[in-house]
Each structure stands twice: as structure tokens, then as C-alpha cells.
Structure 1
Amino acid sequence: MDILSEILAGARWTGDMMSRRALFGTWGLRFPCARSAAFHAVTQGDCLVRWQGTDLHLQAGDVIFVARGKIHELSSARGVKAVDVEEFGRIGQKAKPGDTPATTLLSIRYEIPTGPMHPLIVDLPDFILIRGKQVAAHHALHSVMQLVSAEIDQGIASDLILQKLADILLYQVLRLHLASETNQRPGWRSALADEKVRAALENLHRRPEHQWTLANLASSVGLSRASLASRFKSALGTTPMHYLVELRIDKGRVALAEPGMTLDAAARRVGYSSAFAYSKAYKRVRGKAPTLDLTGK
């Protein structure tokens, strides 16, 4: 599994469809995503997305990802009163036979688990907007949008199909964002753009339990220790070995959530010789013992 797939799979986001509808006339939807992220795809017409006093115009083919905790609104025009999306779903709209929708969109809420998040997720901006017209005509994004558009008005099994298509769209958006112009400050765009740093990260993620050293990690990607350390620090602002500690702690934390998993077994799974060694590293990084952190004490 490549590094981006590994991180996104490990994020354990859970999608929940908020809206899949054709909208007529004047309308406004409020998305109360205080503890979740949101994703919107416009397949027909246009609308405005309003966030913290800023309006962005969305057209057919555009997709937008809004980060966790960013309450926002979608509407047909400025000044339109927005209704909570769940209430709107209960009320609905009355359309006359033959009326053409002003806008058709798909909206998904992604619940993000509490607790530490991977730095790539933390580093995402408040919103990521991908303009359909700015994406190459042969890009897979357009094919997925066509499938979404065709599926919105379907019946049996369409909710499940739309959820899967929305997941694909989200990953395409994140990939486009990360592949866009590189950022000069340390961050994941820089790391993924550097082939050697990316390869080192993939090795760490594939085998966190391996007894990695700077020397054998550098050798695995064909670099000297000094070269890997310098490029890794420039890209991510940390050292390979410190990143490995954080990675092991996070993977151990996930393992501990499994039924019947003991602290000792989780520790050994991620490369520590004992529960004591894992707990010591966990407390140094997180400030408390893993058992206390997981119970919220």
C-alpha cells in the first residue's frame, strides 16, 4: 500500500450521506459539522458555499472538501436564509411537474475519530476547492462525477453506490491537492514530492515493527544517512526516527482498540520489546500512559 493510501485508510473516517438531491428555485442548507468534515460535489447548475463571511461560487463539476469543525452553508444566492440540512430533508421542496432543477448536488459528512490525527490530516487547509474546468479533460475525476450525476436519481442500492463514489471523489481531491504546487515550508506536499523521502516513509509504514535505524533506512532508499536525515527534516520538519516513534505510538493505539488486545501484544506488534517500553515512549510523546489516554482520564 502506498503512503497516501496507508494514511487515509488509517484515518478511519466514516462517511454519512447528508444530502443527495435536485434543488429547485431558492434554497439554503446549513451544515452543522462541528465535529466532522464535509464534502460536496455539484453535478448540475451552481450554488454558493458560505463560510466565515466568505462566499465561493461553485459550478457543475466543482467539488469542495471542508475541514472538521467548519460550520458552513450552501445556498442558491446571497442573502438566502439557510435551513439545517436534516430539517430540510424532512421538509423537502415542492416542485411542479416538468420543473428543471436549479442545482443538483451530493453532500457527505465524514466523522473523524477523536484523538491524535496524522500530521498529513492536521496539515490540510480549512477547505480544498477543485474546479472541474481546471482539471485535465482525461482525469478520472470527471469520470467519477459523471457516475455520481447518473446515480443521484436512481433508486435501489444507490445510497451505497453514491457513498463509495463520494469516497473515491474525496481521495481524488486530496491527491490533486497534494500534487499541486509544492509548499516551501515543511509539510506533506514536500514529503510526497521527494521520491526518496516518500520511499522512506512507505518503508516505515509497511514495517513499523522492524528494528529501523537511520543507517538501514537510508540504505533501503539508496541514500547516505546524512542525505536522508537532511531531506527528511527539510520536508517534514522532524527526523526519521522521531517520526517512527510517533508512527509506532499511533499504530499501537489503534491496535489497543481491538477486542482482547493486551498492552504487551500491541507493543510487540509495533516494534517494542515490552509493554513497559511502549508505555514509556507513549507517555513521553502523549504526556500520559496509554491506558489512561484510551479511557479519557
Structure 2
Amino acid sequence: MDALAALLDGPRARQAFLLRSTLDPPWSLRIQDEAPLTLVAMVRGAAVVVRDGGGAAPVRLGPGDVAIIRGPEPYTVADDAATPAQAVIHPGQRCTTPDGGPLSGLRDLGVRTWGNAAEGATVMLTGTYHLDGEVSRRLLRALPALVVVARAEEDSPLVELLAEEIVRDRPGQEAVLDRLLDLLLIAVVRSWFAGNLSEAPGWYAAYGDPVVGPALRLLHHQPARRWTVASLAREIGVSRAALARRFHGLVGEPPMRFLSEWRIALAADLLLEPGATVGSVAHEVGYGTPYALSTAFKRLRGVSPKEHRAAVLAAA
């Protein structure tokens, strides 16, 4: 597993919120749904994204451009930065006017479609991951608050394909849309990293290091192995002290802490598989007992494995 594959192994949309918006200006949507990650893809027309906070300049999106917006901080998507908000999107995708009243002017326009004009000058697609567990924390930490990849940088058919599929109402359509959203996220992140290596996380850049790179590959590919810093150093032919010093310097954390976070990220996904138990997952990711996995999981995630699984399934 290479560095990017390891980073992107996390996106697992589960009945994600997906919406096609068709709008004529002026329009402005205030988003405060607290979602960990949202994609906005422009099919037609243009929009600006304005993050909260002083000094955050509006970022313009044109046809084919895709924005990744990391939550939970609020932001606004509008035809123009000066347009006052007309609708506020709350957690659970509840929509109100800015003063909390019922919406007028924005309405249902068909399957997963809403807006103020059936054939609006602007058409955009929104895909929202509801829970942290649907996108790995390592990926969320690797991304800035707002990523924009222009169509010229990622000329992929995925935006057009998602635009076609989002308005269809067929058996199993939610699963199709979830996977398309995951693919689009992966494609956009891959393209962004290719053009912004200086902003990539330390461990991603460290993959090219002759000492740390092989160590990262071993940890990613064999997480269940009983690793120690000494055994990892022996495997790649360097001293324990040299590996520990170089790994921490390039990645920003010790090897065993990195391994613990990687194991728990894998466990969080595996726990959602049908028939999975805490015991079976513990063995698969390198913990000798269910208790050991539960202890590590709660230390890093703040909840037990069973609580994590119950929360994700309840939300889905």
C-alpha cells in the first residue's frame, strides 16, 4: 500500500447527503451543519465559498471545479460574497431562513434537487459526509480548511457522472451515489496533493525517505505484526536510535504512535463490516485481546469500539 492509498483508504460514505441545487442569482446559502467534510462540485455557472473568520477571502468556483470543505466551522456558498444569506442549513440538513423561519423561494424540484429555478444559471452538486468515521481522521488532518481543484487540474468524468446519477431513483441508488462520492473525493485529494506537495502531511512526504519510507510501508502493509521500534529498525537495516530519530523528525510522531493510530483507523472501518466482532477485529489489526483493542480505541477515539459502531449504524 503506497502513501496515498493509505491516506485515502478511509472514505466510506454511508447514505451520504447528496443534493443537486439549481439556482438563479441572487442566492446565498449559509452552511452550519457541522459536518466533518463536504464536497461542492460545479456543473454549470459559478459560485463563491466564504469561510468564517476574519481575513478569509472568497474563493471562486467555475464549471467543473470541485471544493472540499472541512468542518465543523460554518461557511457560506453564494453567487456573490455580498449577497445576504437566504437560507441556513443546520445539523441534520434542517433548513430555515436566517431568523429561523420557514423557507420561501427555495423549493423541492425533483429527485435530490432543489433551488429557486428549475433550469437555473447555476447548477452545483453537494455531497456531505455526516460522521468523522466516514472519513479517516488522518485524511481530515492532512487537508486545509478549504481545498479547490480546478477542472483544468482534474479533468475527470466523475462530476458529470455524479450529476447524471444524482437525479435517478433506482433500487440501490444510495449505494451507487455513496461510492461515486468516495471516488470523487479520492480523485480531488490526489490531484490536490500532486500540486501541493509542500502542504502534504509530514508522513506523506516522508514516504520518499530511504529510511522512513520503507518503515511506513511495512507499518501500512502489515499492521497486525508485533512491531517494536527495534524490530522495525532491523527489518530495514538501520539502528533503533537512527530510525526513531529520523521517523519522529519527518513524520512528527514516534513510530509506535503512528502504528497505533493506523491500527485504530483500520479497526474503526472493520468494526462496521457484517459479522465483525471486537475480538476478530483486534486480531486483524494487531491487538492480542478484545480488551487491548478496546483500551487503545477509547484512548484515541474517546469511545469504545461498540459505542463507535452503534453511533455509526444509528446515524445510517
Q: TM-score range by the shorter chain?
A: 0.7 to 0.9
1:71 equivalent to 2:86? Answer no
C-alpha displacement of 1:31: 2.7
Tell me what 1:29 maps to: 29
Structure 1 stretches of at least 4 aligned residues deviating more than 6 Å after TM superposition? none
CA distance in 1, matches of 2:190, 2:200: 19
Instruction: Tell me the CA shift for residue 187 of structure 1.
Output: 3.0
> 1:243 aligns to what?
258
The structural deviation recorded for 1:128 is 1.0
Q: 2:140 aligns with which of 121, 125, 141?
A: 121
Q: Larger relative contact order (C-alpha < 8 A, sep ≥ 6)?
A: 2
Q: Would the alpha carbon gap of residues 227 and 150 (structure 1) be closer, same or farther in structure 2, given more than 3 Å must change?
A: same
Q: CA deviation digits over 1:90-119, x for unaligned, max 9?
A: 374245xxx7x4222111111223699533
Partners of 1:21 and 1:152 within 8 A in 2: no
Give distance in 2, aligned partners of 1:115 and 1:150. 22
1:93 aligns with 2:108: no
Question: Residue deviations 1:114-155, cap 9 Å, x none?
Answer: 69953342242111122334x2xxxxx213256348727965
Q: Give the equivalent residue in structure 2 for 1:147.
A: 160
Which segment drifts farther, 119-128 or 182-191? Answer: 182-191
Question: Relative to 1, partners in 2 of residues 1:231 and 1:33: Cα closer, same or farther, differing over 3 Å?
Answer: farther
Query: Could you list the per-position Cα deviations for residues 12-48 of structure 1 after superposition, in whole angstroms to 9, with x for gaps in the alignment?
Result: 3436244214322322223333133211111222111
Does the CA contact (< 8 Å) of 1:39 and 1:65 recur in 2? yes
For residue 84 of structure 1, report the CA deviation from its aligned partner: 3.8
Contact 1:144–1:169 (Cα < 8 Å) also in 2? no
> In structure 2, do the counterparts of structure 1 residues 263 and 147 end up closer, same or farther at CA, with 3 Å as the change threshold?
closer
CA distance in 1 between counterparts of 2:22 and 2:247 reads 47
1:130 aligns with: 149
How do 1:16-55 residues align onto structure 2 when only pairs under 5 Å count? Answer: 16-52=16-52, 54=56, 55=58
Aligned mate of 1:170, from 176, 179, 185: 185
Name which of structure 1's ranges 4-13 and 72-81 shifts more when overlaid on structure 2. Answer: 4-13
Distance 1:150 1:278 in 2: 41
1:249–1:51 distance in 2 versus 1, CA, 3 Å: closer
- 1:104 aligns to 2:118 (yes or no): no
Following the alignment from structure 2 to structure 1, what is the Cα–Cα distance between the partners of residues 75 and 174? 23
Contact 1:43 1:105 in 2 (8 A): yes
Identity of aligned residues (%): 29
Any gaps of 5 or more consecutive residues in structure 2?
90-94, 96-102, 109-113, 312-316
Q: 2:249 aligns with which of 213, 234, 240?
A: 234
Matched residues in 2 for 1:258 and 1:130: separation? 32
Q: Is 1:11–1:112's contact at 8 Å kept on the other side of the alignment?
A: no
C-alpha displacement of 1:210: 1.1
> 2: distance between equivalents of 1:266 and 1:240?
22
Under a length normalisation based on structure 2, what TM-score does the superposition of the two structures give? 0.70
Partners of 2:23 and 2:200 lie apart in 1 by: 42
Paired position in structure 1 for 2:99: none
Letter paired with 2:47: C
CA distance in 1, matches of 2:19, 2:249: 42
| CA-to-aligned-CA distance 1:191-245 (integer Å, 9 cap, x gap) | 3454753443332233221122334434555655455433321222112122223
Contact 1:67-1:125 at 8 Å conserved across structures: yes
Cα 1:260–1:231, aligned 2, differ >3 Å: closer, same or farther?
same
Amino acid of the structure 2 residue aligned with 1:36: P
